[in-house]
A and B are shown apart, each in its own frame.
Chain A
């Protein structure tokens, strides 16, 4: 896209324009951070200005009332385990479906692809019934199992596309050298799938970490709450008490923003790659 143009005056002007646009884009975060450090009265009288004194105790209050560490722990556990299991389980399925396209596997793959069109709202009502029959209501394990099922279609689809691009010769070489079918998958194909696995993990992390609806249906005990449900419950209780609500929001977004800033190159590349396949 970039032709061999010099960094000339006109480009500088456009760049300044886009930097200005970027700053405008960040204004909501300015409002959030600045007001999270003001007293309640000051939030109401002057929301745009700089705080006259930093009210750090706002954060102490929000930290306690939201039981933030617990919610963070739940979110982390659920996101990490769901991701690991989802990617491993779907890599195995996608590999087999791509390499053994029997009539059964072809129909199954088509069912997975078709299911990507099902919005969660279309299955949530019976899912509540199914999960209570299975006895996995109100547990983190139950929620993880739900993510494995609902995340499988897209994950299998993305990985399936990748497996088809892996040359068969490598696997045949492994077979000649006496590798078992499982060995071929775990020792040869799975390591090769790393780039697409990163993409899949990124897409699923953004979705699972931020998901509100599924956990709100499955988890009812407050000690199991993830960050989104904890935040929602907190807002219901402290509506318009901005000096508590805003620091709680800052705490809520901090983990994922830090994760993003550290991983941003991978995340942005991963999304670009995922979209080409999807």
Chain B
């Protein structure tokens, strides 16, 4: 009996131990430490972190205009990017489940930007907005390409949206395609026999049956948009005049550029709360729309 217990304990340690240790050291402990730092005026260098209570939070809510602006930017960005990425992905998936000859090649093409990663994509597009678009503008005379894309507040907002949709639509497309492939064919054929038009099949059969995919895709798009960082850093650096500074970039600058680790931690905790609440609300809302087969 004792030996069995000891063997179970040993198994528990060997199997679960390593991931638990790393999880605690890299995620759990820093998270708790962050809660503590958020109540201090720590600058990241001094040995001692002075407790200042909730004054960091008060400052963020009452006086920190830059943070408020970054939050408004991120919220607005998330709204548009989630919508546009999902609509694009859905249309691509709907078309690429048709019996095309080039189906697999086209899927690969639309997925490709996602594998490259936001930082490098941001630099590539920086070139395209600065030099490429103006060159196309000269050729075609279209005013769309002659805008100062990264130079004004409103155009750089849309510049990031364009790159974000280009980067991520293909990923969500893959998820929508696999969900659409799982919709039973006989159900759609039955509907067509009953005289349902294309629009009805789409709205009454396909969309309800792929709601789990919608849940996942909205969740991913919201969390990617809210955590916008790499693309933001390399494409606009938050400019012009901080107008495109995302919350994640604002926190980064607060901590590592002006060395206010305490204030940065408070922002990070708020950021976590916002991301968690929005994600859970969204999953709860779309889960209710899922139907059982």
Contacts and interface: CB of A to CB of B under 8 A. Distances in A.
Interface of A: 1-3, 5, 7, 11, 14-15, 18-19, 22, 25-26, 28, 31-32, 35, 43-44, 46-49, 89-90, 92-93, 95-97, 100, 105, 108, 111-112, 115, 117-130, 134, 145-146, 148-150, 152-153, 156, 181-182, 185, 206, 209-213, 217, 228, 231-232, 235, 242, 245-246, 249, 252-253, 256-257, 259-261, 264, 267-268, 271-273, 275-276, 278
Given A11-B100, A209-B117, A249 B171 contact: no
B229 A213 contact: yes
A44 B189 CA distance: 56
6 contacts: A15-B101, A119-B275, A185-B15, A212-B229, A228-B120, A232-B119
Interface string B255-293: 110000100110011011001100110000000000000
A90 B280 CA distance: 25
Interface of B: 7, 11-12, 14-16, 18-20, 22-23, 25-31, 33-34, 37, 44, 92, 95-102, 106-120, 123-125, 127-128, 131-132, 134-136, 138-139, 166, 171, 174-175, 177-178, 180-181, 183, 185, 188-189, 192, 212-213, 216-217, 220, 223, 226-227, 229-230, 233-234, 247-248, 251-252, 255-256, 261, 264-265, 268-269, 271-272, 275-276, 279-280
A134 to B, nearest CB: 7
Q: Identify the interface centre among A1, A249, A252: most chain B CB within 10 Å of its CB.
A: A1
Contact of B16 (A19, A92, A181, A210): A92
A181 to B, nearest CB: 6
Contacts of A148: 18-19, 22, 26
A14 B123 contact: no
A210 B30 contact: no
A3 B188 contact: yes
Contacts of B14: 92, 182
Judged by DSSP, the binding face of B is helix
Nearest to B8: A100
Contacts of A275: 174-175, 178, 213, 216-217, 220
Contacts, number: 279
Given A89-B18, A121-B248, A22 B110 contact: yes
B230 A122 contact: no
B100 A115 contact: no
Given A92-B14, A108-B16, A275-B178, A260 B30 contact: no
